Amino acid sequence: MVNVKPEQFRRIWSALITPTRGDESVNYEALEEIVERQIQDGAEGFYCCGSSGEGLLLTLEERKKVLEHTLKAADGRVPVISHVGTIRTADVIDLAQHAMSAGALAVSMIPPYYYKFSMDEIMGYYEDVIRAIPNVPAIVYNIPQFTGVEFSKDNAGRLLANENIVGIKHTSTNLYSLERMGQAFPGKALINGFDEQLLGALSMGSCATIGTTVNLFAPLFHKVREAFDQGDMALAYRWQHAINLRVEATVKVGIFNAMKYGWTVRGVDCGFCRAPFRPLDETAKKAVEELLKMPLEAV
Q: Give the whole-angstrom CA distance, residue 73 versus residue 65.
A: 12
Q: Are 107 and 75 in contact (CB under 8 A)?
A: no
Q: Does residue 228 carry a pLDDT above 90? A: yes
pLDDT band at 5 (very low <50, low <70, confident <90, very high): confident
Q: What confidence category does residue 6 fall into, taking pLDDT thresholds of 50, 70 and 90? A: confident
Give me the amino acid identity at 86: T
**How do residues 170-197 score in pLDDT, each as one tens digit?**
999 999 999 999 999 999 999 999 999 9
d(CA 185, CA 201) in angstroms, rounded, equals 16
Our answer to whether residue 223 is catalytic in this structure is no
Calpha distance 238→219 (Å, rounded) = 14
Catalytic residue (one of 47, 125, 126, 169) = 169
pLDDT of res. 1: 72
Q: How many helices (H) and strands (E) does the chain have?
A: 12, 8
Domain coordinates in residue numbering, the chain: 7-293
Number of residues assigned to the chain: 299
What is the C-alpha to C-alpha distance for residues 215 and 13, in angstroms, rounded to an integer? Answer: 9
Torsion of CA 55, 135, 87, 8, to 10 degrees: -40
Task: For residues 271-299, give the mean pLDDT.
Answer: 97
Catalytic annotation, pick one of 47, 125, 141, 261: 141
- At 216, the amino acid letter reads L
pTM above 0.95, yes or no: yes
Residue 3 has pLDDT above 90, yes or no: no
Q: What is the mean pLDDT of residues 144-166?
A: 95
Active site residue 141: yes
Can you say how many angstroms the Cα of residue 218 is from the centroid of all Cα atoms in its chain?
13
Helix (H) or strand (E) holding 80: strand 80-83
pLDDT digits over 262-284, tens only?
999 999 999 999 999 999 999 99
The percent of residues in the chain predicted with pLDDT above 70, rounded, is: 100
- The CATH homologous superfamily to which domain 7-293 belongs is Aldolase class I (3.20.20.70)
Contact 99, 65 (CB under 8 A): no
